[in-house]
Chains A and B, each alone.
Chain A
Amino acid sequence: MAFDPGNDYPLGSRRPDLVTTPSGLALEDVTLEALRDGRLDADDLRATPETLRRQAQIALAAGRKPLADNLARAAELATVPHETILEIYTALRPHRSSAAELEAWAARLEGELAAPLTAAFVREAAEVYGKRGQLARERATV
């Protein structure tokens, strides 16, 4: 059955058939029995990009565009390594990055990390940081 964002929420109780872990384990197989049998892996117990995109569609169907955009960015970030995420966060803090550095992150997000929405978001940040003097302060060069 096709996914209907206006009717299929909560996915957990209405459309468990659509939900798996990143390794493909079905939602209904995330049980104590499975834990006992050694079939669960802690790193595998999280939402897939697909599930997060569905949650974004559900938010949009409920009229919440900014929340949907946030969840769509989250879907992109779901596969980005933890350390990379923290590096990007740090880069976005005020006075941390030059315009070029932010552009480099945007390019990497767009290419290697397959996160075009987040890339655009970083570019928009860079533009405003430039206007508001929130890029890294010029370091004196010798």
Chain B
Amino acid sequence: MPRSKRFLSREGRELRRELLISPAPELGLVAMNGPNDPEPGLELAGDRIVSLDGRAEADFDSLDWFVARYGIDFEVAEEAMARSDDELARMLVDIDVPRAELVRLSRGLTPARLARVVSQLDPVEMMFALKKLRARRAPANQAHVTNLKENPALLAADAAEAAARGFAEVETTVGVSRYAPLNAIAVLVGSQTGRPGVMTQCAVEERRNLQLAIQGLVTYAETLSVYGTEPVFVDGDDTPWSKAFLASAYASRGVKVRFTSGGGSEALMGRSEGKSMLYLEARCLSLIRAAGSQGVQNGSISCVALALSVPAGVREILAENLLAAWLDLEVASGNDAIASHSEIRKTAKLMGQFLPGTDFVTSGYSVMPRYDNMFGGGNYDADDLDEWLTMQRDWQVDAAIEPVAEDELVRVRDKAARAVQAVFAGLGFPAVTDEEVEAATYALDSRDLPDRDRAADVAAADRVLGERISGLDVARALDERGFADVAEAIVGMQQQRVSADYLQTAAIIEPGGTVSSAVNDPNRYEGPGTGYRLEGERWQLLQKLPHELDPRALTGAAAKGNRQVNEVHVAKIGDRSDEVVIAVGPAFADGLRETINGLDHGEVLRAIADGVREAGGEPRLVRVRRISDVAFIGHDGACLSGSGIAIGLQSKGTAVIHRADLQPLDNLELFGMSPLYSLESYRAMGRNAAGYALGHAVGPVPTMMDNFARAKLIVRTTLLHARETEAIVEGAPPVELALTEVP
């Protein structure tokens, strides 16, 4: 069979680089409601759980033990488990059932039950429930800041940009693990330059991470990964107890912790036990809450492309986020790892979190171009920022990234790079040169930065750990070199460690230094008009993109150049049979002076007239004043024409060849693609019009098409047409025009 060229064309699209697979439950490759998922169930005997989701105590694995011991609230378990899936599902989307009541019930539900209930909801219901169940009132966002050269000036500049754009957290990591202390310092200095209070982390091995925290160089961690089956947990060299202990250890050092989990990881590691992604994630989330984590980074995370390979994968990911929110956990909802090659598919997936808003809409928006993203991420990156900001503006949704003008960002980046230069100088590290500062300020990516002496840098990094160089040492170096404000912000972060308020659920630090969390700023959405709404000053801020234009200024400049026509007298009906009337709109060559394609109106008229004459006709210029619609302009002209033929012409350049005996909205030829026309196009219209007047056989002017013309130019079209319409003189008769002499 020959191949369909359309199928072949589609096979060439980016989307088709990805495999779609039919479900294979035995391999864990099924999104939700897997055939091997257990029936929900809970049996209590006194103060013990003797059966959990169909598994008797004697068969409990370590996850069951952990959840049974710490994760089920006996006081609500019987009540909650007695409710039907259907009833619980309806409560999730009922605005009259408050979040607090749903959270209370969640404490008595088993993993299988939790998974079963959320899988009752369709995608829009899930989004609604997620909006209702988010822990913190307002959404926030997290940034990724890395670069392939691990250049400190560029790290600082990017962290500063992230902070200035409103990211509440900045995460960095390393290519070479010994760099960690330097990267942590660069990101700390940069973020506090951009906006005091931004929390930072450096994703490295736990021991090193804890050490950086103790030295006051980072304030949060989300490296605590958990898995939904015991074998994968053990392969990860942890148990629920070791992870929970680590969480307490971090908290004891003043580090905010969120765990990480996500559907598909167990299948990827070959130990899914034949269970669905959502069920295993429900086990993870029950365990995470039981461990006392305030929150989780979830929604498939690094396995997102695997979840997307199976049917309902995107819905499963949204269900994961929803489950976490229902369990009263802070949710950093993925969208960091690349979900798809297809921009359409990627963004369609994003909407599940973007529209409802989560505590962190992404768990890592790449502030720099993807080239420099060392998380293997960059699902959305520096190049996508205007798209993200525009989508916020389109939906009137706060997805927690702010527009900032170029000059302001350049200033902030420069300051951050200079601040880290000062810190390196103060601590006796290898110098950050002025050349690096300048390159970091204006760079696209690290290829714009000079190479550094990496051996010397890692030696400096070793000194940070060896000499226990602290956040205070960094602040001192800044203060001594004229960066008192940045120094003060870093001291402020040390102060935050002392009060430890950011250990509470979904905490972020507001610009003034106050901690905002689910405790003091909880989400209390209870229907329209309640909860967080993007309005007032915040809406003004998010809608005002730097490249937004004032429409009044757009056509203000249009009336330039000399007036090219004079109105002679009221137009009469012509009597020449070779006559072609060129009927122009009310503002033509007057209030407006050029077409949407930038052609001078006088030139256009001359081109049409030349065309008419070339084909043996006689042009006559008329202005229709009573109406601005091209069909009526043309038809009015045709009624004045001795031949009955006219060309109607709007100021923006849209034209029509009309004949007096046709209905006004009919025509001989319509030229609606004004942005594409040259003077030669108008000359061709003139020739054709004359051909009609003289009764010749006329081949229509070839049609030109640009399907994007409307998207590109509809605003200008609207504004030009508004000017044309403003120039209407109600009931006024057409007037004859004379072209003024070309100087």
A→B interface (CB under 8 Å): 9-13, 16, 19-21, 27, 30-32, 35-36, 40-42, 45-47, 51-52, 55, 58-59, 62-71, 73-78, 80, 82, 85-86, 88-89, 92-95, 118, 121-122, 124-125, 128-129, 131-132, 134
Shortest distance from the beta carbon of B730 to any chain A beta carbon, whole Å: 64
A77 CA / B97 CA spacing, docked (Å): 39
Asked whether B53 is an interface residue with its Cβ less than 8 Å from the other chain, the reply is no
B348 contacts which chain A residues (CB < 8 A)? none
Cβ-closest chain B residue relative to A126 = B241
B56 CB, min distance to chain A CBs, angstroms: 13
Residue in B210, B230, B514, B518 whose beta carbon sits within 8 Å of that of A13 in the complex: B514
Q: Report the minimal beta-carbon distance from B173 to chain A, rounded to whole angstroms.
A: 21
Known contacts A11-B501, A80-B252, A85-B249; 20 additional CB pairs below 8 A are A9-B501, A10-B515, A12-B499, A13-B515, A31-B488, A45-B470, A46-B253, A46-B497, A52-B503, A55-B503, A62-B518, A63-B103, A63-B104, A66-B290, A67-B504, A70-B244, A70-B247, A73-B252, A89-B249, A121-B241
Known: A62-B519, A63-B103. A12 touches B503 (CB 8 A): no
Can you list the 3 inter-chain pairs with the closest CB atoms, starting with the nearest? A70-B292, A42-B470, A74-B251
Q: Interface range on chain B: under 10, 10 to 19, 20 to 34, or 35 or more?
A: 35 or more
Cβ-defined partner of B471 (8 Å) among A42, A82, A118? A42
The closest CB in chain B to the CB of A42 belongs to B470
A64 CB contacts on chain B under 8 angstroms: 294, 328, 505
Known: A68-B292, A70-B251. A92 touches B499 (CB 8 A): no
Tell me the smallest distance from the CB of A38 to a CB of chain B, in Å: 10
User: Are A67 and B294 in touch, CB under 8 angstroms?
Assistant: yes
Residue numbers in B under 8 Å from A67 (CB-CB)? 292-294, 504-505
B207 engages A86 (CB within 8 Å): yes
Pair A47/B500 contact, Cβ less than 8 Å: yes
B600 → A minimal CB distance (Å): 63
Q: What B residues does A10 contact at CB under 8 A?
A: 499, 501, 514-515, 517, 519-520
Q: Are B241 and A35 in contact (CB under 8 A)?
A: no
Find out whether the CB atom of B495 lies under 8 angstroms from the CB atom of A118.
Answer: no
What CA separation (Å) do A47 and B496 show in the bound complex?
A: 9
Closest to B243 in A: A92
Q: Is the pair A131, B499 in contact by a Cβ cutoff of 8 Å?
A: no
**CB contact between B214 and one of A47, A82, A92, A94 (< 8 Å): that residue:** A82
In the complex, the answer to whether B62 meets A27 with C-beta atoms within 8 Å is: no
Within 8 Å CB of A41, what residues of B? 472
Contact B519 A9 (CB under 8 A): yes
A42 near B65 with CB under 8 A, answer no
Q: Which B residue's beta carbon lies closest to that of A117? A: B248
Check B252 against A32 for contact (C-beta < 8 Å): no
Query: A82: shortest Cβ distance to chain B, in Å?
Result: 6
Please report the C-alpha to C-alpha distance between residue A27 and residue B501 in the assembled complex, in whole angstroms: 12
Beta-carbon contacts of B453-492 to A below 8 Å, as 1s and 0s?
0000000000000001011110110010000100110010
Query: B95 interface residue, CB < 8 Å from A?
Result: no
- In the assembled complex, the CB of A95 is this many whole angstroms from the nearest CB of chain B, namely 8
Residues of B within 8 Å of A85, CB to CB, are: 210, 249, 252
Tell me the B residues contacting A by CB distance below 8 Å.
60-62, 65-66, 69-71, 73, 100, 103-104, 206-207, 210-211, 214-216, 230, 233-234, 237-239, 241-242, 244-254, 289-294, 328, 468, 470-473, 475-476, 479, 484, 487-488, 491, 494-501, 503-505, 513-515, 517-520
Measured CB to CB, the nearest residue on chain A to B289 is A66
Return the contact of B245 from the options A21, A75, A121 (Cβ within 8 A).
A121
User: Interface residues of B: mostly helix, strand, loop or mixed?
Assistant: helix
Which of B207, B211, B237, B249 lies at the interface centre, i.e. has the most chain A CB atoms within 10 A of its CB?
A: B249
Interface class of chain A by DSSP: helix
A94 and B514 contacting across the interface, CB-CB below 8 Å: no
Q: Is the CB of A66 within 8 A of B70?
A: yes
Bound complex: CA of A67 vs CA of B459, how far in Å?
Answer: 39
User: B472 to A45, Cβ gap below 8 A?
Assistant: yes
Question: In whole angstroms, how far apart are the Cα atoms of A16 and B248 in the complex?
Answer: 24
Which residues from B are CB-within-8-Å of A118?
A: 245, 248
Q: Which residues of B contact A27 (CB under 8 A)?
A: 495, 498-499
